[in-house]
Amino acid sequence: MRLLYAIFFFCCLLISEKGNAQAISISFVRAPLKQVLRVVEKKTGYRFNYVSKYVASARPVTFTARDATLEQVLELCFKGQALTYRVEIADRTVQVIPVAAASPPEAVVLRDVGGKVMDEKGDPIEGVSVGVDGSDRGTFTNDRGTFLLTGLPSNASLVFTHIGYGRQIVKIDGIKDVILTLKPLAQTMTDLSIEVSTGYQTIPRDRSPGSYDFIKEDLVNRSVTTNILDRMENLTPGVLYNHGDAAATDALLVRGRSTIYANAAPLVVVDNFPYDGDLANINPNDVESITILKDAASASIWGARAGNGVIVITTKSGKTEKPTVSVNSSVTIQGKPGLYNISTISSADAITVEDSLYNWGFYPSDQNNPFHLPAPPVKDILDSVNNGYLTAAQAQARMQALAGHDVRSDMKKYFFRTSVNQQHSVNISGKTDNVNYYFSAGWDHDVSELVTEKDDRVTLRSKSSFKISPALRADVGVNFVENISQAGDNQAPNIVGFYSGQRLYPYAQLADARGNPLPVYLNYNKDFVQSSQAAGLLDWTYRPLADMYDENNTTIIRDYVLDGALQYKIVPGLSLDLKYQFENQILGQNDLFNDSSYHARDVINTYTQVNPTTGDLSNPVPMGGILYVYNTEIVSQQGRAQLNYSNTWKGKHRLDVLGGWEIRRAVTTANSNQFYGYDPNDVLVNPNIDYSTVYKEYGLPTMAQIPNNESIAKGVDDFLSYYANGAYTYDGRLTVSASARKDEANLFGVNTNEKGTPLWSSGAGWTISKERFYDWNWLPFLKARVTYGYNGNISRLASALTTTTAYPALTTAATRAVINNPPNNKLRWEKVGMFNAGIDFTTKDQVVDGSLEFYTKNDVDLIAQAPVDPTLGVSSFYGNVASMKGKGIDLRVTTRNLKSLLQWYTTFILSYSSTKVTKFDMPSPALGSTYVSVASSSINPVLGKPVFSYFSYRWNGLDPYNGNPIGYLNGKPTEDAASIVGQTTLDSMVYNGPATPVFFGALRNDLAYKRLSLSFNISYKFGYYFRKPSVDYFQLFNNNTTNGDYARRWMKPGDEVRTHVPSAPSTAQFDHNRDNFYEASKVLVSKADNIRLEDIRLSYDIDKTVWRQMPFGHVRLYIYASNLGPLWKANAFGIDPYYNNNTRLEAVALSVGTTIDF
């Protein structure tokens, strides 16, 4: 941090120097133009592209210039010449162009065309493909970078392509010699042609001091996933994707968390408007670029919705005059997941434990089991021994047979499969002087690793722009998405009893040797199930393998987006934009349990009534299936009117200003229902259901109402905004910017003047390398920038007015209401103040290129809980009562390691992000046990710590005599677990550290040899923690299973040296706090730091210069491998933090695909 401040201070001191790095003082007398251009190249660093014969035949040049700009020198050079010029600031090149003469069209003649292709340094490039546009003719440049093509029409166009460089087209127009400089594709800060989109405007990156990251199309398409946001991972600093336990906090963050209870996800903008639909609806093949807005200056244009950062997605449009057809197709295959990554007690150990429990009398008799709870099969075997049905030897043989079986093998065999994902897309695009068009269609078919699950997505997109007149342009876009997801009742790998909560015992068999489904008893014991069926009830047996196919859960999402825009040029430099978007997303879910499903049979049986006089049975829940219906609809309309002004004067001054007004309304409606007695064949239901009567549940000492899933909800969000943004640039060196915005919404305030909040930002940028005094030739580009301002955030936990939820009364037909939030007429938006300072740099010949940014965040008016007078009917309310602070660093460095026939680029990104709670008015619970859980569903802020942090009990090992866990209470060692859990205060807990990474980043290498390219990415995450699950004896005794650490438990004195796993209780009656203390102790918390090989991509490009008979213009073949696993992990447990005792997709995901351009 100090180094950054020092550099920035040094840059500020330099501003007192006078001059302009572009100021040129030269003098010529009748000098050849070619000689003059070479001198100007050396003076300015700009490179001239021209046809030799035109420059050689130009008139000699005579002039004197002192402290002149490049533009002034060029005017003198080309004054009176038959040539003109065009300055490409982005490329730092000058295109020399013949002045067109008025003459009759010439007949097409054939001629030989040759030339030379160079890089930006002037070195020849070998292996460049030189093709004739529209034909199969072509050649390659030799080791001197030269080429020759004979017999070409004078009106032909040449297409130059080379891996690692941008594609360029040159019209011959009768010339014979072509001198061309190819620009590398490497994404560099000096590539000023990169235009970043804020969603309101598209601007060159050099004209804004804000913090932007830009992901171009080639990087978007580097990975092969169906989710567009997943394709951003490990490509840009400051953007964190959490995995494993950390994902239970925030799945995606931009520069850390800026809120306590509100949604911390960044705002996603698609083609100028916030996207209200499901992000899974966006087809990545339609995306041209992604811009991440990270600081106040870049994101402030979005005001109260930009506090968590903004991700702007821009879809493709037509680029070439000739219609282009592009087809992309890929298949991704991934093997079955690794269920053995889940640590589970072995079958043999589980049977031994159940044998002990049986001898202790743990399992209740039928007379003492009013809920008919099941017991594991071992109990039935031992009962048979006691009743004389089996000998001890026979029982031992049966238990040994069970001990040889692992339920995970059945799970993997019958419930999982190799997943196959297909992505297919086709698009047609092009442009003319008056029309720009893009049409695409896509189909994705995903067969999940879970049997019965699959997804299909169809996307259609149209994007057109029409030039109605020189001053008026109209844009029209249509997007349609249909996503159909289907699933059955696949409970793997976590089958749990619906009623009893018992988990599947580790030796359970789900199928016989022939694959026929076998029953398991998790809700009720076998005797009760059989006696119920004998009494006339439906078969209550649960067979997971069969039941998997008795549910059809279908979700259909249809998303329609229509948008239109008009742009009118009022006068030169001043234009008016009118934009409108309509979106309608409809989600419909039908979850059908057919009449043979366990769920339908369980509900029908549970509410079966027995006549106490006659013994006759009646069914308040009718026979048949049960259909659950869920519907959600979003209707969103957004409109914007915006004035844009841009002007340049005196060659040094540039002003860009915009201002506008926008309105937005989003209406969300939802309803749900259920239909009993559903017959899918005749589409019949039984509507005569009595939901108010409290029925006795069959065979149980409890009563309940029939489940009623009927609900209806509606939400209306209204937003009204006014905004302005401006930037002034002096001589391409100094830029100052400012923005202001006021957002109003129906969530805040009662009075009109309380509904809105003003937000603002300001910034400045200084391209130091353009100053006259600057003479660091080894660092030709150096820019400093600084910004400060406020963005906002929305929390729906509170509102200005009282909100309630209505429910049916429990015993009558009346309606009851529950207060969700008391009124708060002073409610305000959350505000995120951010300071950002950055330096962009490039060394000579772009060998090293990068940026370094430091930022601080001050999050105020955060919505959180605060106490209130309980006589008001509530004990707390949500208000603007909390604050947070954060700081961080973003670093990106790209190096060019090799630049020859073999090219090698390396990109290193590093991010540091730290946040802490600085204010929280709700009194913190004193007990440390409150802070053990880490998840977004259980937020308990602690002052001075991150929102999500790990706290644990102090650990003092195991008692050497009995293996009991030892902790501390009031600073003294103790085995009294109940007192430790019940009395340890927060200040006595161990603070382990944050639950999300503090340092994270990636190292990507991109290599290219002629037409072959290779890319691989390594990621890293440091500075965070996770908690390892371990043995829980209460769960083992009551729910059939526990962690595999049972095998490493303390069993005899001396074991405390080799293990931290407590001894097994010597009786079935023990204090469960013993487990609670151990599982939340420091010994089970470890660093989650890891380094992993994320992916490898290999591709090969083919065009007609390689295969002249090829019916396509260009073909790319690629192979992509992901999920390659960790290279290193910090914890001593050997656990991959991404899969902490969870099902691991351990197989490598392998994708093969092709892109074909016609």
- The percent helix, strand, coil of the chain (3-state, each to 5) is 15, 45, 40
Q: Given a cut of 50, is residue 690 above it in pLDDT?
A: yes
Question: Shortest CA distance to 631 belongs to which of 594, 678, 590, 687?
Answer: 590
287-316 confidence digits (pLDDT tens):
999 999 998 887 777 877 788 999 999 999
CB 70 within 8 A of CB 24: yes
What's the pTM value of the predicted model, to 2 decimals? 0.82
The answer on pLDDT for 544 being more than 90 is yes
pLDDT: which is higher, 1100 or 18: 1100
pLDDT in tens, 927-964: 889 999 888 778 889 999 999 999 999 999 999 999 99
The answer, yes or no, to whether residue 6 has pLDDT greater than 70, is no
pLDDT digits (tens, 9 = 90+) for 858-913: 999 998 887 877 766 677 778 888 999 999 999 999 999 998 889 999 999 999 99
Domains 2-118+142-181 and 195-320 share a fold: no
Out of 245-249, 328-332, 915-919, pick the least confident: 245-249
Statement: residue 103 has pLDDT above 50: no
Q: Which residues of 998-1032 are buried (b: 16+ CB within 10 A; e: fewer)?
A: bbbbbbbbbbbbbbebebbbbbbbbbbbbbbbbbb
946 alpha-carbon distance from chain centroid:
21
Q: What is the mean pLDDT of residues 952-977?
A: 96
Instruction: Name the pairing type of β-strands 435-447 and 419-431.
Output: antiparallel
Predicted confidence (pLDDT) per residue in 553-601, tens digit: 999 999 999 999 999 999 988 999 999 999 999 999 999 999 999 999 9
Q: How far apart are CA 917 and CA 931, in angstroms?
A: 15
Position with higher pLDDT, 983 vs 169:
983
Digit-coded pLDDT (tens) for 660-670? 999 999 999 99
Average pLDDT over the chain, rounded to an integer:
87
E strands of 221-295, at which residues? 239-241, 252-254, 267-270, 273-274, 287-293
In the prediction, which pLDDT does 87 show?
77
Domain boundaries of the chain, sorted by first residue? 2-118+142-181, 195-320
User: 255: which residues sit within 8 A by CB, 6+ positions away?
Assistant: 238, 294, 309, 855, 857, 886, 888, 890, 913
**pLDDT per residue over 1081-1127, tens digit each?**
999 999 999 999 999 999 999 987 777 788 888 899 999 999 999 99
pLDDT of 672 > 80? The answer is: yes
Residue 20 has pLDDT above 90, yes or no: no
Which of 487, 449, 455, 241 minimizes the C-alpha distance to 339?
A: 449
Maximum separation of any 2 CA atoms in the chain, in Å = 124
Cα–Cα dist 404/406, whole Å: 7
Please give the structure tokens belonging to residue 543: 């067979």
Indicate if the pLDDT at residue 4 is higher than 60: no
Tell me the average pLDDT across 495-499.
56
Instruction: Supply the pLDDT for residue 193.
Output: 44
Query: So what's the pLDDT on residue 726?
Result: 92
CA 560/CA 549 separation, integer angstroms? 32
The full length of the chain comes to 1158
H helix runs in 132-281, sequence order:
217-220
Closest CA to 1015 of 412, 396, 222, 383: 222
User: Residue for token digits 């910004």?
Assistant: 787
Structural contact between residues 1020 and 1002, judged by C-beta atoms closer than 8 angstroms: yes
CATH code: domain 195-320 is 2.170.130.10
* pLDDT tens sequence across 446-475: 999 999 999 999 999 999 999 999 999 999
> What pLDDT score does 748 carry?
60
pLDDT at 95 over 60: yes
Q: What is the pLDDT of residue 1058?
A: 95
Opening angle at CA 46, ends 45 and 48, nearest 5 = 135
What the block records as the tokens of 132 is 């004739």
> Do residues 971 and 991 make contact, with C-beta atoms less than 8 angstroms apart?
no
pLDDT at position 363: 86
Q: Give yes or no for residue 104 having a pLDDT over 60.
A: no
What torsion, rounded to 10 degrees, do the Cα atoms 249, 250, 253, 257 define?
A: -50
CATH architecture of 2-118+142-181: 3-Layer(bab) Sandwich (3.55)
Q: Does position 188 have pLDDT exceeding 50, yes or no?
A: no
Q: 819 pLDDT band (50/70/90 cuts)? A: confident
* Geometric angle at alpha carbon 1108, from 118 and 321, rounded to 5°: 65
Strands (E), 225-286: 239-241, 252-254, 267-270, 273-274
- Given pLDDT bands bounded at 50, 70 and 90, which one contains residue 753? low
- At 309, which amino acid appears? G
- pLDDT for residue 490 is more than 70: yes
pLDDT for the residue numbered 192: 40
More confident residue, 12 or 450: 450
- Helix intervals (H) in 27-114: 33-44, 52-56, 70-78
107, pLDDT greater than 70? no
320-355 pLDDT, tens per residue?
778 899 999 999 999 888 788 888 999 999 999 999
